Chain A
Amino acid sequence: MSEQLRILCPCGILGYGFPEDSFLRGMEKKPDAIVVDAGSTDAGPHKLGKGVSIVSRLAMKKDVSYLVNYGTKQGIPIIIGSAGGAGAKVHVEWTLDILNETLEENGISAKVAVIWADIDKTDIYQALEQGCITPMSATVPEMTQTTLDSTHSVVAQMGHEPILKALESDVDIIICGRAYDPSPFAALGIKYGFDSGLCYHMGKVLECGALCAELGSAKDCIVGTLYNDHFVVEATNPKCRCTVTSVAAHTFYEKDNPYILHGPGFHLDLSACQYVQKSETEVRVTGSKFIVDEQYRIKLEGARQVAYRTFFIGGVRDPLLLSILENVQENVMESVRQQFNYIDPERYSMRYYNYGMNAVMGENEPQKFAGHEVGVLFEAIADTQELADAICAALRSTMLHYGYEGRKTTAGNLAFPYAPNDITFGPVYQFSVFHLMDVDDGIAHFPIQIFTYPQGEME
């Protein structure tokens, strides 16, 4: 075991971008590896449902070119977690295509391991029948054969085990499908014999980039160094500063329990952790405990299409209308229902979001409205795009011309920023699978393939 292991994480999501200076300052610290997370469930179910990314191809390629030019070219291993936004096959392939193109353009050759995280639905059916599926929380839809059938693809979060296995093949780059965010960071430290609790806790702190630093963001770089009995984190941008609060607070981030973090096949107990300000900009962490779970469970994620949407946005400035806006909107929807009385009402629904009034919190908004202008977003949800378009067009024309009690402005009730006014949104998705599945080990569901790029020949 070497005395220390240093990991540079350029940003919270690959393709978010990072300041070049921060990255170069990170490289000056001679990292042993560059590790970066590329996905999250945060942006919504459409990534899994539609197979799209969170970042643009252009931005992704820019970030990847830094990784291969400063990492691969210098013999520094690169690990990318949850490739392409959600880590399903389509996302991994998108990432590989960009990687291949970037390597080719820069004249760099690399041995690339790909770890797939797509879970065969027949395995899930089987686990469901055997009672080996548990929903993640109370409001997760019940898993049935029907919901599974309509779910496009299911991925599972891998732990460090498949990544460790890929590292054995002495590869330059590892592209992981869906992974538990800290696992790609933890794998390298575990390979070199560092304490698994520290490896994972450091991974948890690093995986959002410099978000764990004061004035830091997910679009900036962070460096973590593992030692025998502690780890140290430091932002590479001199404007950001890791503090005891910022690092300890980040351990909380997006988790429902601040000192027990559940991962694939284990949990981390952080109740005895100590955070110490090592220098002006560095924080030292000790005491993270890795506890192996009796039953290895992997978290499944899947999404299904539930409807189509069309919407319009319009501003309301008329004070008389604003004073009775929601009444008018309810009347408009009732009028549209009558206009479409030949259509089964189960096939569609209508909703308005009044920005400036209560769009963010809905009926739970405690504050009374006291403004002079409201942004109205009106949407039609239907079982076909054609019907959503038709309902939205009727909502728009009815709202625009609606003659409410006391109206003085007879020319039109909405200021549209765009023409055409209606925006066809396309399919709407829902997280239909968010369950734990009991498995025998953390390896079997995550097959590994090795390629030599840029040619893309399989070994």
Chain B
Amino acid sequence: MKLYEIAKILRSKNSGPFCVTLDVFFYTNNDYNSIKNNDVITRKTIANAYGLPIENVSEPMYYDQAMGIKITYDRVISSGTVGDRDVYGAQQHAPLMNLTINKDY
């Protein structure tokens, strides 16, 4: 099963011109907690999915009130300059969508 199948909102966006932040929100507390407690979204899984050095990825943040998880990484190239591919950082979420999750939780 892929992460997007249980996500209500799943997105990427600039957090300032030098970082991209990934957000995922869930429909149910059950889904949210199982992802939160099973290390699905970690610095390592995100670094792997995005081909980034682990030190470019921040610790994931959990916001229980919104059933949401956020994780941020440093851009290699800042927004809108030579070599950038996504000025708003708004189409960088596909590798996150496709993270494989264990459906037995």
Residue of A43, A257, A307 near B87 (CB, 8 A) is: A43
A258 B63 Cβ-Cβ under 8 A = yes
Contact, CB under 8 Å: B66 / A306? no
CB pair A428–B82 under 8 Å, yes or no, is yes
Does the CB pair B82–A258 fall under 8 Å? Answer: no
Counting from the closest, the 10 A-B pairs by CB-CB distance are: A44-B80, A248-B66, A258-B63, A430-B81, A364-B51, A256-B72, A431-B17, A139-B74, A256-B15, A137-B18
Contact in complex: B78, A258 (CB < 8 Å): no
Which A residues between 342 and 368 are near B, CB-CB below 8 angstroms?
349, 351, 353, 359-364, 366-367
Number of A-B contacts (CB under 8 A): 138
Whether A169 is near chain B, meaning CB under 8 Å from some CB there, is no
A362 touches B79 (CB 8 A): no
Q: Which of A45, A259, A360 contacts B63 (CB 8 A)?
A: A259
Q: Does B13 contact A (CB under 8 A)?
A: yes
Instruction: Kindly identify which residue among A44, A253, A361 contacts B92, using a CB–CB cutoff of 8 Å.
Output: A361
Residues of A within 8 A of B (CB-CB), count: 47
- Give Cα A361 to B81, complex, Å: 16
Residues 362-391 of A, flagged 1 when their CB comes within 8 A of B and 0 if not, give: 111011000000000000010000000000
Contact bitstring B11-31, A, C-beta under 8 A = 1, else 0? 001111111010101000000
Residues of A within 8 A of B62 (CB): 258
Chain B CB within 8 A of A254 CB: yes
Are B18 and A139 neighbours in the complex by a CB distance under 8 Å? Answer: yes
- Chain A residues whose C-beta falls within 8 Å of the C-beta of B100 in the assembled complex: none
**Considering the complex, which residues of chain B in the window 75-98 have a beta carbon less than 8 Å from any beta carbon of chain A?**
75-76, 78-83, 85-88, 91-92, 94-95, 98
Contact check, B92 vs A431: say whether CB atoms are below 8 A apart.
no
Q: In the complex, which residues of chain B have a beta carbon less than 8 angstroms from the beta carbon of A140?
A: 18, 78
Docked-complex contact B61 and A306, CB < 8 angstroms = no
Residues of B contacting A430 in the complex (Cβ-Cβ under 8 angstroms): 78, 80-82
Residues of A within 8 A of B (CB): 41-46, 136-140, 244-245, 248-249, 251-259, 273-275, 306-307, 309, 349, 351, 353, 359-364, 366-367, 381, 428-431, 434
Interface flag for B40 (CB, 8 Å) = no
Contacts of B74 in A (CB 8 A): 137-139
Which residues in B have their C-beta under 8 angstroms from that of A360?
Answer: 85-86, 91-92
A-B contact pairs, 13 of them (CB 8 A): A45-B17, A45-B80, A138-B18, A244-B65, A244-B66, A245-B66, A249-B9, A252-B23, A253-B13, A257-B61, A361-B85, A366-B95, A431-B17
| Contacts A274-B65, A366-B95 supplied; 10 other A-B pairs, CB < 8 Å | A44-B80, A44-B81, A45-B78, A244-B66, A249-B9, A306-B81, A360-B86, A431-B80, A431-B81, A434-B16
Q: Report yes or no: B13 in contact with A138, Cβ–Cβ below 8 A.
A: no
Closest approach, in angstroms, between the C-beta of B82 and any C-beta of chain A? 5
Partner of A42, one of B14, B58, B76: B14
Nearest-CB distance from B11 to chain A (Å)? 9
Complex contact A254–B14 (CB within 8 A) = yes
Give the CA-CA distance A273 to B14 in the complex, in Å. 24
- Give the chain A neighbours of B25 by CB distance below 8 A: 245, 249
Bound-state CA distance A309–B83 (Å) is 11
Compute how far the CA of A434 lies from the CA of B16 in the bound complex, rounded to whole angstroms: 9
Q: Give Cα A293 to B25, complex, Å.
A: 30
B56 to chain A, nearest CB (A): 7
In the assembly, what is the distance between CA of A71 and CA of B30, in Å?
A: 47
Check B35 for interface membership: any CB of A closer than 8 A: no
List CB contacts (< 8 Å) of B1-56 with chain A: 8-9, 13-19, 21, 23, 25, 49-52, 56
User: In the complex, which residues of chain A have a beta carbon less than 8 angstroms from the beta carbon of B63?
Assistant: 248, 251-252, 258-259
